[in-house]
Structure 1
Amino acid sequence: MERISNIYFVPTPIGNMKDITLRALEVLEKSDIIYCEDTRNSLNLLKFHNINTKLVSYHKFNESERVEEIISNIEDGKIVSVISDAGMPIINDPGFVILQEVIKRDISYEILPGACALINGICGSGFDSTSFVYMGFVPKTDSERKKYFQSFKNMKVTGIFYESPHRLLKTLKYIYTLFGNINVCVCRELTKLFEEYKRGNLEEVISYYSEKGVKGEIVLIIEKISDEKVDIDIKKEILKLKDDGYSNKDIVKMLKNSFNISKNEAYELVLNLENEEEK
């Protein structure tokens, strides 16, 4: 006997339009309303699969406002589905707010299985997947990132992160200053024509994308960080930071935070290196 729910959370393809289950298509077709992030994007998916269900926008800017409307439609007996632009709703996408309200009101709901970029990423990385943690999007500020990555290191598991292509290199270089030449895998354009899994230590991966450039959606996988300290050539690191355009003041601050040395020691390292280069 088929289970009947009042609202469905339906995963959609993360790149390839065919990566959607038969049941998901069936649910979307029988739904009276589909709430989606971007009606234009979702319309392409529905047209591809010959589905004509009504679409209503539901995104992070109106998520809370739509709650009562969605509940009202459910109470009127309508079948409602929630989708995101790509992948599983709720995970870094709209859906969490309405799910909490549905649970609070004891309304029947169902989460359908399907495409999810973080799962493809951890499986394709080749790293240990017996225990891992999903950390979401990498914070933008250095102070937040240091706490964020340090908390991950303390978990002693494989880590999954989302990052934008224009910040990837900066993030990889920052991780290098914290943990040294550890192993990572950059999963790019998953399920699409130019899908890529680039594995290697940080120096290799940074060099690769510095030459090639970075485009497309990114899932970053970091191999579990061991307790053994990875040696870093501080002089080499200073030169890298200089090449990236950081000022001496910024470099001193980063050295102080990353290598647990005093401000004076950091200044001395930077000045000594400059003197060596002038000779």
Structure 2
Amino acid sequence: MIIKLQSQKKDNENGLYIVSTPIGNLKDITLRAIETLKKSSFILCEDTRVSKNLLDRYEIKSKLIPNHKFNETKNLDKIINLLKSGEIISLISDAGTPSISDPGSILVNECVKNNIKIIPIPGASAVSTAVSISGFSEKFFFNGFLPDKKQSIINELKKLSVLDQSVVFFVSAKKINRIIPELKNFFSDRKIVFCREISKLYEEYIRENINDLEPFKKEPKGELTIVISEKNDDKNSSQDLSESDKNLINKMIKKLSIKEIIDIISQYKKISKKTIYNYCLKLKNEN
């Protein structure tokens, strides 16, 4: 087999390089990324303390310039002028691919306006990594970070729940227990994977049926990448509970958990778990 070496001309062009960095394990960086960072006059980064660990590991001496969400607009003119003068500048984030739920898109758009070359250096991404181990549909929708306010979170999850594909989003550990009731409400009967500390020492993947979710007893560290499975439409399921089904649930609701009731009814009736869950929830709220 003859392997043709790719021309290095493009990697030596002046312009802005969007360089993907490891999402945890510092070994998860490409040779091309290291070469690009070494030849850069400047490296734009979110947190110089975080990026310095990576640069020290690979003996990269290029100058770091802080470029985060609080100063990226302020930095814009200075960086564009440097690029116009022929400098090679790389943009990195603390982890993963820049400008995807991280600073960068403002600078990229300004480079487009000024006809400045933009060269991507692909690499690690928490999104594709999480989807690859989920076992869910390869067709997915990435939603970035959930908003902060409760009503905004509810509105967002409601919109996502109608998509007939896997759904991926980021959420902070502090927010995770707040959204579990909403996940159970909007994504009933679907599966979920919580990806924590991807590629790091305490890497963990928690797989659950959404109906069985319980709040985390101990707040997990860091940010979570969450993957929810595609919709599981059971065309053979009845859409409604009969009066006898409702009477039976009324008798069980004070003695059994909602999960136990769903398991019992599902054993002998073709009724969607979401229908049973919603009726049980209604009774609980009435009491």
Matched AA of 1:127: F
Cα distance in 2 between the residues matched to 1:147 and 1:174: 10
Cα distance in 1 between the residues matched to 2:162 and 2:201: 36
Q: 2:190 aligns with which of 182, 190, 215?
A: 182
Aligned to 1:270: 285
Larger helix share, 1 or 2: 1
Aligned to 1:16: 25
Q: How many residues of Structure 1 are paired with residues of Structure 2 in the alignment? A: 245
1:224 maps onto 2:230 in alignment? yes
Aligned to 1:159: 167
Q: 1:142 aligns with which of 141, 150, 160?
A: 150
Matched AA of 1:109: I
SS at match of 1:210: coil
Structure with higher Rg: it is 2
Cα distance in 2 between the residues matched to 1:269 and 1:53: 61
Residues 46-103 of structure 1, C-alpha deviations (whole Å, 9 max, x = no match): 0011111100100000111111111111122111111111110000111100100111
After superposing on structure 2, the runs of 4+ consecutive aligned residues of structure 1 that deviate more than 6 Å are: 229-234
How far off its partner does 1:167 sit? 1.4
How far off its partner does 1:142 sit? 3.2
Kept in 2, the 8 Å contact 1:28–1:34? The answer is yes
How far off its partner does 1:40 sit? 1.2
Q: CA RMSD in A?
A: 2.8
Matched AA of 2:66: S
Kept in 2, the 8 Å contact 1:180–1:231? The answer is no
Kept in 2, the 8 Å contact 1:5–1:109? The answer is no
Identify unmatched segments of 5+ residues in structure 1.
241-257, 274-279
Matched AA of 1:175: L
* Higher alpha-carbon deviation: 161-170 or 210-219: 210-219
Kept in 2, the 8 Å contact 1:7–1:109? The answer is yes
* Higher alpha-carbon deviation: 28-37 or 73-82: 73-82
Q: 2:88 aligns with which of 79, 93, 99?
A: 79
Aligned to 1:94: 103
Report the TM-score when normalising by structure 1. Answer: 0.79
1:201 maps onto 2:216 in alignment? no
How far off its partner does 1:213 sit? 4.2
How far off its partner does 1:211 sit? 4.1
Kept in 1, the 8 Å contact 2:14–2:86? The answer is no
SS at match of 2:226: strand
1:45 maps onto 2:54 in alignment? yes
Residues 152-176 of structure 1, C-alpha deviations (whole Å, 9 max, x = no match): 1222110001001121122122210
Cα distance in 2 between the residues matched to 1:124 and 1:107: 37
Instruction: Calculate percent identity across the aligned residue pairs.
Output: 35
Identify unmatched segments of 5+ residues in structure 2.
1-6, 242-248, 259-276
Matches within 5 A, 1:50-65: 50-65=59-74
Kept in 2, the 8 Å contact 1:58–1:94? The answer is yes
